[in-house]
C-alpha cells in the first residue's frame, strides 16, 4: 500500500471506530508499518485539515470527528475532472489555495478505483489560453484571517499602505471580496472613514482578527467611494 492509499485508509479506519479512539500502535499493526510512520501520517492528515484529534490517557489514542468529514463519495471521474477544471478558474484569486485544498479533500474521500480513473482523466485535459489574453498576475498572498473574514464574522485590524505610500492602521468590518485580472480588494466598512471602502489585497501589510464580532449594519456597497488610486468603487465591477 502506497502512502496516499494508506492516508485514505487511515481516515476510513478512524471513521469506522469513531467516537472510540485508536492508538498509534493499533493502527501500526493494522497497516503493517511502524508506529513512527503512523504518527507521521496522522500529523500529515492534521496539517491538511482532516479533523483528527489525539486523546490523552491510558485508553486514549486518535479520534476522527465524523461531523466534519465526508464518507467515501460516489463521484464519477468525469465529475471530479469537472471540479478540477472549474476550480482552475480561481487561479490568481485569493481563493486559489482553498480551491486546491478543497479538491484534494474531495479526491481523498473517493474510492481508490474512481480516484485513479479521475487522475487518468484529468491528465488528458489541457486548458488553452488565447494568445491575445493578457498575462494574469500572480495570485495575491492573503493571510488566513483575511481569507476567513466573511465566515468568521469578526472585526479586522489592518495595517494598510495606500498608493502614496502612507501607512495607516484601520479597524474594518469586512463585507466581501471583489476583483478581476488586475487586482483584488477587500470590501469593508472602514471605521476610520465611517464609510464603505475597498482595500487592495496586495497593499494590506498585516491583518489581525479581533475578538469583537461585526455589528449589524446596513452597508450599501454601491456607496463605496474612492480614496486614492488604489481604492475603486464596486460599481466598476458591475455590482
- Give the model confidence (pLDDT) of 213-226 as tens digits: 988 887 765 555 43
What are the pLDDT digits (tens) for 51-103?
888 888 777 899 988 776 666 666 788 788 888 877 777 776 777 777 877 78
Say how many C-beta atoms besides its own lie within 10 A of residue 146's C-beta: 24
CB 170 within 8 A of CB 157: yes
List the grid coordinates of 199.
Answer: 482595500
Cis peptide before 99 (omega within 30 of 0): no
- Per residue in 100-139, pLDDT (tens digit) is 777 877 777 777 778 788 877 777 666 655 544 455 555 5
- At the topology level of CATH, where does 3-67 sit? Arc Repressor Mutant, subunit A (1.10.10)
Residue reference for cell 489592518: 158
First-to-last alpha carbon distance for the chain, in angstroms, is 51
Question: Looking at domain 146-237, which CATH architecture does it have?
Answer: Roll (2.30)
Return d(Cα 128, Cα 147) in angstroms, integer. 29
What pLDDT sits at residue 119? Answer: 78
Average pLDDT over residues 197-206: 88
Centroid of chain to Cα 106: 13
SS (H, E, C) 30-88: HHCCCHHHHHHHHHHHHHCCCCEEEECCCCCEEEECHHHCCCCCCCCHHHHHHHHHHHH
Please answer whether residues 87 and 102 qualify as being in contact, where contact means their C-beta atoms are separated by less than 8 angstroms.
yes
Whether the predicted pLDDT of 28 surpasses 60: yes
- Number of other CB atoms surrounding residue 118 within 10 Å: 22
Q: Give the sheet arrangement for strand 154-161, strand by strand.
A: 195-200, 184-190, 167-179, 154-161, 204-213
Amino acid at each position: 500500500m502506497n502512502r496516499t492509499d494508506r492516508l485514505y485508509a487511515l481516515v476510513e479506519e478512524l471513521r469506522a471506530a469513531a467516537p472510540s479512539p485508536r492508538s498509534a500502535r493499533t493502527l501500526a499493526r493494522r497497516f503493517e508499518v511502524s508506529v513512527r510512520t503512523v504518527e507521521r501520517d496522522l500529523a500529515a492528515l492534521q496539517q491538511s485539515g482532516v479533523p483528527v484529534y489525539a486523546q490523552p490517557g491510558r485508553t486514549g489514542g486518535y479520534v476522527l470527528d465524523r461531523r466534519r468529514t465526508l464518507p467515501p463519495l460516489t463521484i464519477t471521474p468525469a465529475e471530479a475532472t469537472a471540479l478540477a477544471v472549474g476550480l482552475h478558474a480561481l487561479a490568481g484569486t485569493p481563493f486559489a489555495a482553498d480551491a486546491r485544498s478543497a479538491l484534494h479533500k474531495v479526491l481523498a474521500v473517493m474510492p481508490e478505483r474512481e480516484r485513479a480513473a479521475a487522475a487518468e482523466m484529468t491528465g488528458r485535459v489541457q486548458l488553452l489560453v488565447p494568445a491575445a489574453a493578457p498575462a494574469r498576475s500572480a495570485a495575491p498572498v492573503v493571510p488566513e484571517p483575511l481569507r476567513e473574514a466573511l465566515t468568521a464574522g469578526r472585526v479586522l485590524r489592518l495595517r494598510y499602505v495606500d498608493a502614496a505610500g502612507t501607512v495607516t492602521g484601520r479597524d474594518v468590518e469586512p463585507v466581501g471580496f471583489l476583483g478581476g485580472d488586475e487586482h483584488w480588494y477587500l470590501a469593508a466598512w472602514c471605521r476610520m472613514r465611517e464609510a464603505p471602502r475597498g482595500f487592495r489585497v496586495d497593499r494590506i501589510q498585516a491583518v489581525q482578527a479581533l475578538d469583537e464580532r461585526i455589528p449589524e449594519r446596513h452597508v450599501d456597497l454601491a456607496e463605496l467611494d474612492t480614496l486614492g488610486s488604489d481604492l475603486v468603487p464596486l460599481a466598476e465591477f458591475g455590482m
